[in-house]
Structure 1
Amino acid sequence: MARETALITGASSGLGIAFAEDLAKRGYNLILSARGAAAMETLASRLREQYGVDVAVQPADLSQPQGAAGLIAALDERGLSPSVVVNNAGIGLNDRFIDQHPDRLTAMLHLNILAVTELTRCYGQRMDAVGGGHILLVASLAAYMPAPLLAAYAASKAYVLSLGEALHVELAPKVGVTVLSPGYMNTGFDAASGFQPTPMTQRSALSPEKVAGIGLDTLFKGKSSVVAGTANTLAAAVAKVLPRDFIARQAYKTTGAQNDAS
């Protein structure tokens, strides 16, 4: 039986690498996509040797307006058709909303919302036509609550959460759609976004490997969504019952004070 193929976006670092490793262990051939090719080529060589899977590397910048369409076209030209899509690529901006650079803000929204939407629509349509497939959308714990200083990022992830939970019903039973919402992880998010984690946030951190396993297990069990980690699951549950204005004010006090002290 031919191996199935999984596409992973944001595959050059952090959680993306963890997804690639986990899927290779499960026997999937891989398509790795991110902006920089060098790190992905190194990862691809290791996974080929270690797990005996085929690994294709396709660079793409999904933060640009034609990024998702370009990736799809490039994979079509190479005859690569994934049966699993992991929409992992995403960036964050941590600062006062009105102080964020408009170009960076636009790029983040393209990546976190529009690229995810386009890849999900295209491959969801194709999976529906052939009668099967899986799509994992990576949101965030921030999707469950207003997050001052991460306002647009949290809003973009709330979109991803809502989209995925709706498509889980709409595309069933042919296409399985699941949303994974991680909390804080020790990845490159801090440096890229300017986020300063609180000590409590750092204590609740899970490894990217743990989070990837939780997400993929939930995807293949056919569930709609999962928040990774007990502490994060509790935080998401609390956010559903407390007034959103209260949550926003408390988050602002905590993150604002932490950032001022850094």
Structure 2
Amino acid sequence: MNARKLALITGASSGLGVALAEDLARRGYDLILTARSEAPLQDLAERLRQSLKVAVTVAASDLSVPGSVAGLAARLDGQGLQPSALIANAGFGINQPFVDHDPARLTAMLQLNIVSLSEMARVYGARMARAGSGHIMLVASIAAFQATPLLGAYGASKAFVLSLGEALHVELAPKVGVTVLCPGFMETGFGAVAGFNPNEMTRRTALPAAKVARIGVDAMLRGEAVVVAGGANKAMVAASRLIPRMTAARIAYKASGGGSFKR
């Protein structure tokens, strides 16, 4: 299995994670799938084995728990699995006033979106650098580019991902390519988990997860630093940079009634 390209995908049980797994499998990657829920991972793994004839390892892990990255890496080491690509996709959001966030859920979100993602990038980025090659994709959001009232902590976590990814793109070059994928709204399970109900304008900008995955993997393999998925999302990001940050935040808050800038 190590003789072939091997991608480790976090958050692979639903939504964009599934689309990324499918896209990479079509490109000839063997896969390691991880997420909190094992059953959907096993279903996806069996489907990809049958349809695309790739090797797929399932390694369920709750990356919102401290210490989970070290445990996952040790398990994969024990199986002799060394990924040549890391797709750090796992994440969730909370859509409500920040002061109303449940403390435990807020901590879990920050652990998953920031701490575990950073630990994954450090562990596997170091190994890829020693090996002399590799690819890392960090999944952020268009929420990374401006303040997002009612999704404030989520947006701030994605701003961290964007900044970290841009730094690593420089630090690890030219041996290891690092790309930050910034989607906008997609019709996945994210909104239900976050408590986010997008307005009609936001829904019209939605891209299928499969298209976002293809955009992201294409950009990763080309060695791009950052890619915003979709023309409408690129326009929103560009517009947010042309007006004062507090004005952009107030517009987003008023227009969405619940934070329209999100992954």
Q: TM over 0.5, yes or no?
A: yes
Q: Deviations over 1:38-79 (max 9, x none)?
A: 101011001011111100000000001112111111111111
State the identity as a percent.
58
Runs of 4+ deviating beyond 4 Å: none
Question: How far, CA to CA, are the matches of 2:179 and 2:86 in structure 1?
Answer: 11
What 5-or-longer segments of structure 1 have no aligned partner?
Answer: none
1:201–1:12 CA distance, 2 compared to 1 (3 A): same
Matches within 5 A, 1:147-226: 147-226=148-227
TM-score, length-scaled by structure 2: 0.96
Q: After TM superposition, give the deviation of residue 176 of structure 1 in Å.
A: 0.2
Question: How far, CA to CA, are the matches of 2:43 and 2:157 in structure 1?
Answer: 31
The answer for the alignment partner of 1:97 in structure 2 is 98
Q: After TM superposition, give the deviation of residue 257 of structure 1 in Å.
A: 6.7
What 5-or-longer segments of structure 2 have no aligned partner?
Answer: none
The answer for the alignment partner of 1:38 in structure 2 is 39
**2:137–2:180 CA contact under 8 A, matched in 1:** yes
Q: Deviations over 1:226-249 (max 9, x none)?
A: 000000001111111210000111
**2:6–2:84 CA contact under 8 A, matched in 1:** yes
Q: After TM superposition, give the deviation of residue 255 of structure 1 in Å.
A: 2.5
2:209 partner letter: P
Q: Deviations over 1:170-210 (max 9, x none)?
A: 10000000000000000001110001111111000000000
Q: After TM superposition, give the deviation of residue 217 of structure 1 in Å.
A: 0.1
Q: Deviations over 1:144-176 (max 9, x none)?
A: 110000000000000000100111111000000
**1:198–1:258 CA contact under 8 A, matched in 2:** no
Matches within 5 A, 1:1-262: 2-256=3-257
Question: How far, CA to CA, are the matches of 2:48 and 2:257 in structure 1?
Answer: 41
1:228 partner letter: A
Q: After TM superposition, give the deviation of residue 256 of structure 1 in Å.
A: 2.4
Question: How far, CA to CA, are the matches of 2:232 and 2:183 in structure 1?
Answer: 11
1:198–1:100 CA distance, 2 compared to 1 (3 A): same
C-alpha root-mean-square deviation of aligned residues, in Å?
A: 1.3
Question: How far, CA to CA, are the matches of 1:79 and 1:201 in structure 2?
Answer: 44
SS at match of 1:75: helix
SS at match of 1:241: coil
**1:128–1:171 CA contact under 8 A, matched in 2:** yes
Question: How far, CA to CA, are the matches of 2:117 and 2:31 in structure 1?
Answer: 18
- Aligned residue pairs, count: 259
2:110 partner letter: L
Question: How far, CA to CA, are the matches of 2:59 and 2:258 in structure 1?
Answer: 41
Question: How far, CA to CA, are the matches of 1:3 and 1:123 in structure 2?
Answer: 17
**2:196–2:258 CA contact under 8 A, matched in 1:** no
**1:196–1:258 CA contact under 8 A, matched in 2:** no
**1:164–1:179 CA contact under 8 A, matched in 2:** yes
Question: How far, CA to CA, are the matches of 1:149 and 1:69 in structure 2?
Answer: 32
**1:60–1:67 CA contact under 8 A, matched in 2:** yes
Q: Deviations over 1:118-152 (max 9, x none)?
A: 00000000000010000000000100110000000
Question: How far, CA to CA, are the matches of 1:145 and 1:257 in structure 2?
Answer: 15
